[in-house]
Amino acid sequence: MSDPVRRRAHGDVLELLERRHGFGVRGSGCPAWVSARLDRALDALAPEGGGTLDGAVDILRRDPGRLAELAEVLRVGETRFYRDPPQWRALEERVLPSLGERVRAVSVGCSTGEEAWTLGMVLDRARGKGYRVVGMDRSEVAVESADSGAYPREDARHLPSDLAERYLEPHADAVRVKAALRESVSFTVRDAMVGPPPGHWEIILCKNVLIYFGDEAAERAVQLMLRGLAEGGVLMVAKSEVPRVRALGHRAEELAPGVTVFRS
């Protein structure tokens, strides 16, 4: 971002979000899609704020309701099917063979569900039965979208062709997850800050979620997830989040070049 005025406005809003809503997205670690959503929000508020970005920031500073609305928009994270293929391959080739017959998996901060459905596809292809996937997100809107299992047709292009053919079907002008897979994948409204659902989980995915948390909140979320792991279970975060979890002092294991998991 080359515009210093816009860069300062972003920083001011992110500071507000961190202080009032616990967001930890700051500085150079801010993803491009977060910046794009901030731009849209600030540009929409600018006319009301005297035509300036500083005026837009002042509106957010004075109006807790609008700031909360922006926080909700940003919490519906950007996601896609089969994001970061090396992680999925390592999960299928290195993690699943070491687990027992029953595999329980949870996708924390699942947003609109693509990651949870991908996890179901990978488990179903490898196991065929004896697995359960739960996707959880604090956003009711995101969970409702995820539970529908319907996505724009072009979203399927991110999946390996065999998974797309096996688990997706045409639905109007979109695609939808087939009924057989839907029997083993479910979604619930739940905040990452209260940890995964009760029970012990062989696989916990929490990708591109910790970027929203300050250090104290991130440590709490990671601790809760690690406590929720079954014996031999793994926690997998986004590649960009691995250094942060390492810095918190948790035990890491490299499964493949660039693919790291954490254990309790």
**Residue 72 neighbours by CB under 8 Å, 6+ apart:** 139
CA atoms of 67 and 26, how far apart (whole Å): 16
In this structure, the strands spanning 131-137 and 185-189 are parallel
Tell whether the model's pLDDT for residue 56 goes beyond 60. Answer: yes
Residue 76, SS3 per DSSP: coil
The answer to whether residues 41 and 74 touch, using CB atoms and an 8 Å cutoff, is no
The torsion angles phi and psi of 15, rounded to 5 degrees, stand at -65, -40
Query: Quick one: DSSP state of residue 91?
Result: I
| pLDDT band at residue 254 under the 50/70/90 scheme | very high
Q: What is the CATH number of the domain that holds 110?
A: 3.40.50.150
pLDDT band at 177 (very low <50, low <70, confident <90, very high): very high
211-220 mean pLDDT: 82
Q: 231: which 2 tokens?
A: 């014996």
**Among the three residues 40, 75, 110, which one is the final residue of a domain in this structure?**
75
The DSSP call for residue 172 is T
18 lies in the same domain as 91? no
The pLDDT value recorded for residue 105 is 98
Read off the pLDDT of residues 122-169 as tens digits, 9 standing for 90 and up. Answer: 999 999 889 999 999 988 888 999 999 999 999 999 999 999 999 999
Do residues 213 and 146 both lie within one domain?
yes
Residues 57 and 139 occupy one common structural domain: no
Burial label for 208, CB within 10 Å (0-12, 13-18, 19+), is buried
Q: Which of 18, 43, 75 delimits the end of a domain?
A: 75
- Reported confidence tier of residue 78, pLDDT bands at 50, 70, 90: low
Domain residue limits at 94: 85-262
Q: Domain tally for the chain?
A: 2
Q: Quick one: 120 and 247 in the same domain?
A: yes
Q: Do 113 and 198 belong to one domain?
A: yes
Tracing tokens 């210093």 back to the chain, one arrives at 4
What value, to the nearest 5°, has the Cα angle with vertex 67 and ends 39 and 35?
A: 25
Lowest mean pLDDT among 71-85, 89-103, 126-140: 71-85
What pLDDT sits at residue 76?
Answer: 62
Is the same domain home to 40 and 130?
no
Do 176 and 110 belong together in one domain? Answer: yes
